[in-house]
Structure 1
């Protein structure tokens, strides 16, 4: 948890421009942001900051924008000149100020807007970025309507997502800002998207506050201006001393390195969602309790699963853990697979879909080689179908789950080895390193580690990458967000490789193991959260559960999670570091079909 620093109170002169800056500016997290406030209608005087490509680009105080600005540059402005200054007018003026070379002739290189009735979005390019990953907030409410007009005291923030793959960026802003006796106080909050993609306001804790000199654009903290730099509290609250200087400043957040270029995106560095959970070392019994509670939660909330529900991960965890479930859960899923095959020419839409079903059926004790006489494992041999790292991994895991004879095995194995990045990681799109994908690939490569030198070299390189990527609290992040899913995939990878994720020193940071970190996302009463331990997320829950299943199977000397051949060495755990109550699966669930 965060330790609050003392705040000494002192009275100093408050420069008017500083007070105005506090009321006008918002700072983006992991977003490229423009902030503008309109003081007029047909001719508007705005103040804005330009922040993108990881630094402050420009600050304009008192920039005039006329209602014909967009038209002068050849844009079709949906707001008439006599009706007021439009969002598009402000956006064009900002580009004019940031990019001196911006003109009516080269405008499309810098700024293009959609003309299909949906404003900023598809077919839109801002800040010379290309693509459609942009939008804006007006008074902290998201909008894409270019027909909107600016009014006095409006705050408009244009942004461009830096993460154009997973869109993990968070829109962050200051609220409830006040000044008192030489200090500025308020809260730092951000919008997170919930499971329904609805923005939810969430406090941002544990980040450093600072000031930006409007003239030099330099980031300042305690030196040389005698300013206090404090971290935001658990509720996002802060109180920071106003600079004792006649210069104009803007409140901002930064990464703690005053010598670096002022950054927007670094607000989230080292903080992530770990501020929302209390991570601490756990006893083996505490982990076991979380494991069993999660199994109960999954069993109680999944009385029926059919093919097409995308819940093969639930079946994998529950089946391999041997958790008691409703008598019709597994048979109902099997019947739905039979029905699907009968109506789809005995095929699945893709090899990866087939692989997931093979894995799930093996986990719950059904034979995928004889479903009404159909051997669905034969579809795994169609090596021309899979076209992504995840699909290669799924196919290889499915083939190895029961050691099916297949010439496709070497093809998938080589595709995975070839797709490894220079960093040692794998990426779902084979270009950008990704923790989750790396974990899944390592699980697929695990059976070959001791017999294939190329695999061993690739795995060792990937483990170095993962160890270096682990956060100080033991968790792992996807993009800039620490989360249960990424952490679970590392636990899975280590366990499948025969590495104790609870004791291996490479994966313990500040006394907290990656298993401890995973368990910190467990919600009281059952389930796991994605970014915190408050709201249950189904995807995080089943990934965390089968990762813990893999972990407990490993420390109890059982087959790997994905090795569903008969148990080779079921050990009755008796030593102090083993839990004797871990359920044992294997052939005891085998049904004669």
Structure 2
């Protein structure tokens, strides 16, 4: 039996490996991972991967914790080896707490999804160590400050004599439970009797460690809400769990300093929302995003834009000082508000009303402000007082956004005032003792930022009653997410995040402005967008020197004065001007110039005479990473035999002659080569012998190996260097076969070595079922023997 099981396991791993080859370009998702040991938590952090094990390995590597295994299975963690404690099937297992906070399971096969949380634990030899995925309250609607019971269970399948699956819930008995730091022990039925609790959010923690042996229950934690009116809701995710003893009162609150530090970080960033932030601060913003937007609109048309994308564009264009009525000869306002209101989701409605008020748009379109206000009110959860993206539970994030959107009508519309007052109460009831408020996305700084924007818009100070708690308030809670140098984090245990930082700046500006006014609605202005100047890309760049738009990448490099290195519109690229008459030689003292990307991940060495440069002409060089949209158009052309390593990037040369004519240069002078060095630092499991440089042949729509250079991998600094006789789109691939010997067809359902990944998944599923049945059969034999 063991030999047969081993054979099946080998086959499963082999088929999994084939699946990984087919999906080589998949970079996986970011998930929170917690690894439970025999006496406590070994590690907890965010990791990235395409399988649960790969995500855990990413965390273990960051924490420098010893492990044995690969992306398919981990057999040892922190010197605890599978089979070492009970000599059977005891070993490392995992389960998933899905992002909705309501579902916990051991689905197989499992592909990580952003927002999911993965728990690894050491199971007993029967592989039936319980974990919490069922919580029952008695009564269903728990009254505030009245005693109630909670029952903890493990919902799973058992099998009858005919191998029919029967769903059952096993009580989790004789284990420790902590409710808001109050200790309990479950009885034989998995129940505890809880004394009365206040209105709002509460936390639970369950554990059953057995020294040196697998636990009686996997340590877990989550949260639940009691309001006395609705069925007590719970959230299984770790991120919803907050240690209510955390004292945020100790956090120093200096809003002016926070605004100053955070705005300095964001000032160089070119983005719709950052433009609005800078407009609110009276600071000129980086308007490079307008060039990309203008090109994208010209290339794809407004009809391809979603409602939210149009709304963000209208706000960004207006904040940058241009008219959304005439942007690159397109009327974004007309396109958006002449659509059908039925196509607007709740977030579309909110941003649509924000855009109306921010740009002071005249109501002469199919959709007017009254329509949007009524639509938002109709989506209110009347029983619970707030709003939600989906479902019937209030989401604080979207509720804060709805409050700020409806704020201009708070004092003039009785229905709006009634709904917003109830929404404020709902948010207050969700705040815990440290000032934190969770949402459908867990505990994040963005939720607090949106709540602050909503409250300040109707004149409520989030640092005052009714939002003061024993260990802090909403403002100190937001400040607890501070990262480094003015940045903010998405999660308390996460890293600095630009989106979280930008939304935090909005909230900080609102708090700063509220000090000198009764209310402050961030999304209201006195700007009349209809009076702003039109934006025309060609006219805007008439008096400055700009490179041409690349046919393939649609990139525009901002070219300034000769021999200056400047940041270009696309993040991560740089531009260098090379003039005739040996300007390069005069500056560098040799016949070549070295240029490094802003993140130091790409370096290029160019001969000064790489092409013939007529007198009075200038040669512009740029390097950039492809955006996700651009990359998607060439990723699906990657042959199945190759795996991409690192990012796809483009190198470009543009010649501007003295008479103003501009042309893009692809091929160099005969015998001239540019040397390109790409950093692969941080990329794991690279086989240097299989690396190669490739370029995308635009005319043939396929990847081809760069001619004349196999490339060299430098182990000392993890870089790959190759030479090329031309510039275009490049990538580094890893594979067993040279590209000129393999099929140039991209992987799809009609030309892959398999008909479809569906076949592979089906085979894996069948094997998993057979394996599971065999294991259960063996366990059944043992049970019969005992009987």
TM class by shorter chain equals: 0.5 to 0.7
Once residues 437 and 255 of structure 1 are traced to their aligned partners in structure 2, the CA distance between those partners, rounded to angstroms, is 22
Secondary structure at the counterpart of residue 377 of structure 1: helix
Once residues 343 and 469 of structure 1 are traced to their aligned partners in structure 2, the CA distance between those partners, rounded to angstroms, is 46
The counterpart of 1:288, out of the listed 252, 256, 281, is 256
Map 1:260-271 onto structure 2 (within 5 A): 268=238, 271=241
Query: Could you say which residue in structure 2 is the equivalent of 1:272?
Result: 242
CA distance change for structure 1 residues 525 and 82 in 2, over 3 Å: closer, same or farther? Answer: closer
Once residues 478 and 217 of structure 2 are traced to their aligned partners in structure 1, the CA distance between those partners, rounded to angstroms, is 38
Query: Could you say which residue in structure 2 is the equivalent of 1:487?
Result: 448
Once residues 83 and 363 of structure 1 are traced to their aligned partners in structure 2, the CA distance between those partners, rounded to angstroms, is 64
The counterpart of 2:278, out of the listed 305, 309, 318, is 318
Query: Could you say which residue in structure 1 is the equivalent of 2:340?
Result: 383
Map 1:145-294 onto structure 2 (within 5 A): 152-159=89-96, 161=98, 163=101, 168-172=115-119, 217=190, 252=219, 268=238, 271-272=241-242, 279-280=248-249, 286-294=254-262
Following superposition, the deviation at residue 373 of structure 1 comes to 4.6
The counterpart of 1:367, out of the listed 323, 333, 352, is 323
The counterpart of 1:297, out of the listed 251, 259, 265, is 265
Native 8 Å contact 2:446 2:500 kept in 1:
yes
Structure number with larger C-alpha Rg: 2
Once residues 138 and 366 of structure 1 are traced to their aligned partners in structure 2, the CA distance between those partners, rounded to angstroms, is 47
Secondary structure at the counterpart of residue 462 of structure 2: coil
Native 8 Å contact 2:328 2:534 kept in 1:
no
Following superposition, the deviation at residue 312 of structure 1 comes to 2.2
Alignment of 1:393 with 2:350, yes or no, is yes
Query: Could you say which residue in structure 1 is the equivalent of 2:509?
Result: 549
CA distance change for structure 1 residues 374 and 506 in 2, over 3 Å: closer, same or farther? Answer: same
The counterpart of 1:339, out of the listed 282, 285, 295, is 295
Q: Which moved more, 1:554-563 or 1:468-477?
A: 554-563
The counterpart of 1:352, out of the listed 298, 308, 311, is 308
Native 8 Å contact 2:52 2:118 kept in 1:
no
Aligned residues: 390
1:545-565 Cα offsets, whole Å, 9 max, x none, are: 112122222333386311121
Once residues 320 and 256 of structure 1 are traced to their aligned partners in structure 2, the CA distance between those partners, rounded to angstroms, is 37
Once residues 373 and 250 of structure 2 are traced to their aligned partners in structure 1, the CA distance between those partners, rounded to angstroms, is 36
Query: Could you say which residue in structure 2 is the equivalent of 1:465?
Result: 426
Alignment of 1:525 with 2:482, yes or no, is no
Map 1:376-525 onto structure 2 (within 5 A): 376-381=332-337, 382-384=339-341, 386-406=343-363, 407-421=367-381, 422-429=383-390, 431-479=392-440, 481-503=442-464, 505-510=465-470, 512-525=472-485
Tell me which of the two structures has the higher relative contact order, counting C-alpha pairs closer than 8 angstroms and 6 or more residues apart: 1
1:521-558 Cα offsets, whole Å, 9 max, x none, are: 11131210111276201111111111212222233338
CA distance change for structure 1 residues 348 and 274 in 2, over 3 Å: closer, same or farther? Answer: farther
Native 8 Å contact 1:362 1:564 kept in 2:
no
CA distance change for structure 1 residues 157 and 174 in 2, over 3 Å: closer, same or farther? Answer: closer
Once residues 422 and 234 of structure 2 are traced to their aligned partners in structure 1, the CA distance between those partners, rounded to angstroms, is 32
TM-score by length of 2: 0.42
Map 1:75-114 onto structure 2 (within 5 A): 83=7
Structure 2 regions of 5+ residues with no counterpart?
Answer: 21-49, 58-68, 76-81, 104-112, 123-179, 195-203, 225-232, 536-787
Once residues 208 and 502 of structure 1 are traced to their aligned partners in structure 2, the CA distance between those partners, rounded to angstroms, is 28
Once residues 547 and 354 of structure 1 are traced to their aligned partners in structure 2, the CA distance between those partners, rounded to angstroms, is 23
1:311-347 Cα offsets, whole Å, 9 max, x none, are: 422222222223455xxx22x2233333333333455
Secondary structure at the counterpart of residue 156 of structure 1: strand
Native 8 Å contact 1:355 1:394 kept in 2:
yes
Query: Could you say which residue in structure 1 is the equivalent of 2:46?
Result: none
Native 8 Å contact 2:97 2:116 kept in 1:
no
CA distance change for structure 1 residues 373 and 218 in 2, over 3 Å: closer, same or farther? Answer: closer
1:194-242 Cα offsets, whole Å, 9 max, x none, are: xxxxxxxxxxxx97787667x6545699xxxxxxxxx99xxx9x99898
Native 8 Å contact 1:135 1:144 kept in 2:
yes
Query: Could you say which residue in structure 2 is the equivalent of 1:48?
Result: none
Q: Which has the higher strand share?
A: 2
Once residues 468 and 152 of structure 1 are traced to their aligned partners in structure 2, the CA distance between those partners, rounded to angstroms, is 46
Native 8 Å contact 1:211 1:252 kept in 2:
no
Once residues 522 and 237 of structure 2 are traced to their aligned partners in structure 1, the CA distance between those partners, rounded to angstroms, is 38
CA distance change for structure 1 residues 549 and 82 in 2, over 3 Å: closer, same or farther? Answer: closer
TM-score by length of 1: 0.55
Following superposition, the deviation at residue 431 of structure 1 comes to 4.1
Once residues 139 and 355 of structure 1 are traced to their aligned partners in structure 2, the CA distance between those partners, rounded to angstroms, is 36
Following superposition, the deviation at residue 429 of structure 1 comes to 2.6
Query: Could you say which residue in structure 1 is the equivalent of 2:641?
Result: none
Structure 1 regions of 5+ residues with no counterpart?
Answer: 1-40, 43-78, 89-113, 119-133, 176-205, 222-230, 243-247, 258-262, 306-310, 567-585
CA distance change for structure 1 residues 220 and 254 in 2, over 3 Å: closer, same or farther? Answer: farther
Query: Could you say which residue in structure 2 is the equivalent of 1:17?
Result: none
CA distance change for structure 1 residues 339 and 509 in 2, over 3 Å: closer, same or farther? Answer: same
Once residues 55 and 261 of structure 2 are traced to their aligned partners in structure 1, the CA distance between those partners, rounded to angstroms, is 43
Following superposition, the deviation at residue 389 of structure 1 comes to 0.4
Once residues 120 and 71 of structure 2 are traced to their aligned partners in structure 1, the CA distance between those partners, rounded to angstroms, is 19
Secondary structure at the counterpart of residue 157 of structure 1: strand
